[in-house]
Structure 1
Amino acid sequence: MSPRRSYDQYCSAARALDTVGDRWTLLIVRELLAGPRRYTDLHADLPGVSTDVLASRLKDMERDGLTTRRRLPPPGAAYVYELTGRGAGLLPVLQALGAWGEPELGGRRPTDAVRAHWFALPLLRALEGGTGLVEVRLDEGVFHLRAGSGDGAGPVYGDGPAPGEPDARLSLDTATCTAISRGELTLADAVRAGRVEVAGGTPLARELRER
């Protein structure tokens, strides 16, 4: 475990960066907002991180009270990492950072990796005000998210179809989702333009169609 480096400044922003300012830490938090993950799954969804750096960051995050590690019962019997309440409290930080970074997104570079669930956080911002389980179908894959979550009580998104019947299903292409992520298009405008199909008969689905 690496010794903690500090800015040695009596400032809450500096103290926060002492804990989460290292490269990869906030992206590990992004992945763990989906719930418990195995080391191999984290490594697969963090292209570019070395195994040594990932292991070191996870140890640091456990030391700093952001994550815990536990062993799954048989037949899984694998170790998984998950966020503590303090770690889950970084969701609004990532939301604000993502919103601030929208102008930097630009076009996708040939070297850029992409995972469908990386669109979950910008879509959560776009769904602000709604509450419910939403399944999202993109060219890149399917994921689900929980609009109105973020209280640290559980995962805010996950890979694959929604567990159980979702309150709404969104179908859209990656170009539309990217435009929403960049802040170039609102979800409401995309729905009105027919670029997002909303399925479901729940209050949330009706609200999304009528915004």
Structure 2
Amino acid sequence: MAARDYGQYCGVTQALELVGERWALLIVRDLLVGPRRYGELAAGLPRIPSNILAARLKQLQEAGVIRRVPRSRIIIYELTPYGHELEPVVLALGAWGFKALGDPRDEQIITPDSMTMTLRTAFRPHVAADLPPTAYAARLGPADLLVRVDGPTLDVTRGDGPVDLAFATGAEIRRLISGELAPDHAIATGVVEVLHGPGNLLDRFASTFHLAA
């Protein structure tokens, strides 16, 4: 159990006691992308002290949110079914926080897992269902993601593969997703660099991934 006890009998209070400690939900966010080794979690959260990461992992295990699993002579951490129930909560929290998201501060970074969850948050399956299947290679700062959209199904992974459009940008992806910046203007001003494929597919991307700011 988490160290914090609010002394109230309430579902919200109980949830905060389980996952409300600092860093806990970010660990859950990254594990929603997929199982991770301890070192991978630490690399994705570079500011977390090692003792705090160890403590949060222990607390989340005790709460039944995550579990340790031996795999090929290493230990990985993964969400339990109970932990996976947090996905709509994390996505909704991300959409809510996006409304207040401004330009990044100098010390703020982009990670592949954070961008993966941003895309999952912004994905509009009802729009994608009426569009042709499309694959994108999105270079978002240091994060290289392969984004496949097939009807209402979204798959975001790291790595390479055949794509219809490859493009590069950074934190200013926020302006494209929010609709603040039109796709053609994003390309014309260099905010988005088209690396491969027809640039007009960026319109499809912006229609498929949208969050109100």
- The aligned runs of 1:116-155 (5 Å cut-off) are 116-129=112-125, 130=128, 135-144=137-146
Residues 67, 192 of structure 1: alpha-carbon distance in 2 compared, 3 angstrom cutoff: same
Equivalent position of 1:58 in the other structure = 57
- 1:20-45 deviations in whole A, cap 9, x for unaligned? 11000000011112211110111111
**1:112 CA displacement:** 1.4
Determine if contact 1:45/1:115 at 8 Å carries over to the other structure: yes
- TM-score relative to the length of structure 1: 0.73
Residues 170, 81 of structure 1: alpha-carbon distance in 2 compared, 3 angstrom cutoff: same
Equivalent position of 1:153 in the other structure = none
Structure 1 CA distance, aligned partners of 2:109 and 2:156?
19
Determine if contact 1:47/1:113 at 8 Å carries over to the other structure: no
Residues 209, 55 of structure 1: alpha-carbon distance in 2 compared, 3 angstrom cutoff: closer
Aligned residues: 193
Determine if contact 1:122/1:180 at 8 Å carries over to the other structure: no
Residues 10, 165 of structure 1: alpha-carbon distance in 2 compared, 3 angstrom cutoff: farther
Residues 114, 18 of structure 1: alpha-carbon distance in 2 compared, 3 angstrom cutoff: same
Equivalent position of 1:13 in the other structure = 12
- 1:44-86 deviations in whole A, cap 9, x for unaligned? 110211111100100111111111111112xxx1110011122
Structure 2 unpaired stretches of 5+: 208-213
Structure 2 CA distance, aligned partners of 1:3 and 1:176?
36
The SS at the match of 1:105 is coil
**1:157 CA displacement:** 4.3
Equivalent position of 1:37 in the other structure = 36
Structure 1 segments (4+ residues) deviating >6 Å: none
Overall identity of the aligned pairs, in %: 31
Q: CA RMSD in A?
A: 3.4
Determine if contact 1:120/1:157 at 8 Å carries over to the other structure: yes
